[in-house]
A and B are shown apart, each in its own frame.
Chain A
Amino acid sequence: MYDIKALYEAESVEHAIKLLQEHPEAQIIAGGSDVLVQIREGRRAGVELVSIYMLDELRGVSIDEEENIRIGSLTSFAHITKDPIIQKYINVLGEAVDMVGGPQIRAIGTIGGNTCNGVTSADSASTLMAWDAVMEVTGPEGVRRVPIQDFYIKAKVVDLKPGELQTAILIPKSSYENCYGHYIKYAMRNALDITTTGCSVNVVLSEDKKKFERVRAGYGVAAPIPMRATTAEEFLKGKNVTEKNIKEFSEMVLEDVNPRNSWRASRALRRHISVVMAERALRESIRLAGGEING
Chain B
Amino acid sequence: MDNQYKVVHCTINGKAVEKVVDVRASLTDMLRNDYRLTSVKKGCEVGECGACTVIIDGEGFNSCIYLAVWAEGKEIWTVEGLISPEGELSDIQEAFVEEGAIQCGFCSPGFIMTSWEILKSGKEYTDDELRKLLSGHLCRCTGYENIFRAVKKTMLRRLGKKKEAEKVNSQGITEYPNPMPFI
Contact = CB atoms under 8 A, between A and B. Distances in A.
Contacts of B1: 5-6
Contacts of A29: 67
Contact of B60 (A3, A41, A101, A103): A103
B151 to A, nearest CB: 13
Contacts of A3: 24
A37 B69 contact: no
A192 interface: yes
A126 B67 CA distance: 29
A252 interface: no
A178 interface: no
B65 A33 contact: yes
Interface in B1-41: 1, 4, 6, 22-26, 29
A102 interface: yes
Contacts of B124: none
Main secondary structure of the interface of A (DSSP, over half): mixed
Nearest to B118: A103
Contacts of B177: 190
Contact of A191 (B23, B65, B136): B136
A78 B59 contact: yes
Contacts of B72: 54
A53 B67 contact: yes
Nearest to A274: B183
Q: Is the interface on chain A under 10, 10 to 19, 20 to 34, or 35 or more residues?
A: 35 or more
Contacts of A184: 181, 183
B136 A54 contact: no
Nearest to B128: A190
Interface stretch (B45-53, B85-93, B165-173): B45-53
Interface residue SS majority, chain B: loop
A105 B62 contact: yes
A276 B181 CA distance: 13
Contact of A192 (B133, B136, B181): B136
A104 B62 contact: yes
A85 interface: no
A276 B133 contact: no
Interface string B127-157: 0000011011100000000000000000000
B4 A191 contact: no
A266 B151 CA distance: 39
A7 interface: yes
Pairs of residues from A and B, 9 with the lowest C-beta to C-beta distance, nearest first = A102-B136, A191-B135, A7-B23, A1-B24, A103-B136, A104-B62, A104-B136, A190-B180, A36-B65
6 contacts: A6-B4, A32-B66, A33-B47, A36-B26, A103-B132, A108-B47
Given A37-B46, A104-B47, 8 more contacts: A3-B24, A32-B67, A36-B67, A102-B137, A104-B50, A105-B136, A107-B60, A108-B47
